[in-house]
Homo-oligomer: A and B are copies of this chain.
Amino acid sequence: MKTIIDIAKAAGVAKSTVSRYLNGGPVSDETKEKIELVIKKYHYVPNTFAQSLKAKKTSIIGAIVPRLDSFATSQTLMGIDDELRIRQHQLLISNASQNLDREIEAIYELARQKISGLLLLAAQVTDRHLKAVKDCGIPVLLVGQRHTAIHSLIHDDFRAGHLMGRHVLEKGHRRIAYLGVTERDIAVGVRRKEGFNEALKEYPDCQVRYYESGFGMNEAVMAAEALLEEWKPTLIMCATDNIALGVMKAALVRRISIPSGLSVTGFGGYDITEITHPALTTVQFHYRQAGSLAAESIISLVNGETVDMITTSGCRLIERESVDNLQ
A201 CB–B CB distance under 8 Å: no
Chain B hits for A49, CB < 8 A:
49-50, 52-53, 114
The stretch of A70-78, A158-166, A305-313 in contact with B is A70-78
The stretch of A19-27, A29-37, A271-279 in contact with B is A271-279
A277 to B50, CA, bound (A): 57
- Report yes or no: A248 in contact with B277, Cβ–Cβ below 8 A: yes
Secondary structure dominating the interface of A: helix
- Report yes or no: B52 in contact with A218, Cβ–Cβ below 8 A: no
- Report yes or no: A97 in contact with B114, Cβ–Cβ below 8 A: no
The quantity of this chain's copies bound in the complex is 2
A103 CB–B CB distance under 8 Å: no
- Report yes or no: B69 in contact with A218, Cβ–Cβ below 8 A: no
Using an 8 Å CB-CB cutoff, how does the interface string of A198-227 with B read, 1 for contact, 0 for none?
A: 000000000000000000011001000000
A303 CB–B CB distance under 8 Å: no
Chain B hits for A97, CB < 8 A:
78, 81-82
Nearest CB of chain B from residue A219's CB, rounded to whole Å: 11
Chain B hits for A252, CB < 8 A:
277
Task: State which size class the interface on A falls in.
Answer: 35 or more
A109 to B114, CA, bound (A): 18
A95 CB–B CB distance under 8 Å: yes
- Report yes or no: A78 in contact with B71, Cβ–Cβ below 8 A: no
Nearest CB of chain B from residue A194's CB, rounded to whole Å: 29
Given the interface contacts A68-B74, A68-B78, does A245 sit within 8 Å of B95 by beta carbon?
no
A253 CB–B CB distance under 8 Å: yes
Chain B hits for A276, CB < 8 A:
249
Which of B71, B78, B248, B277 contacts A249, CB < 8 Å? B277
- Report yes or no: A221 in contact with B78, Cβ–Cβ below 8 A: no
Given the interface contacts A53-B53, A71-B69, does A114 sit within 8 Å of B48 by beta carbon?
yes
Using an 8 Å CB-CB cutoff, how does the interface string of A103-127 with B read, 1 for contact, 0 for none?
A: 0000010001110000000000000
- Report yes or no: B245 in contact with A275, Cβ–Cβ below 8 A: yes
- Report yes or no: A274 in contact with B217, Cβ–Cβ below 8 A: yes
Nearest CB of chain B from residue A129's CB, rounded to whole Å: 18
- Report yes or no: B69 in contact with A221, Cβ–Cβ below 8 A: no
List, sorted by A's number, 12 A–B pairs whose CB atoms are closer than 8 Å: A47-B114, A48-B114, A49-B49, A50-B53, A53-B53, A68-B81, A78-B97, A217-B271, A218-B274, A221-B275, A248-B277, A253-B277
Give the interface of A toward B (CB within 8 A): 45, 47-50, 52-53, 67-69, 71, 74-75, 77-78, 81-82, 90-93, 95, 97, 108, 112-114, 217-218, 221, 245-246, 248-249, 252-253, 271-272, 274-277
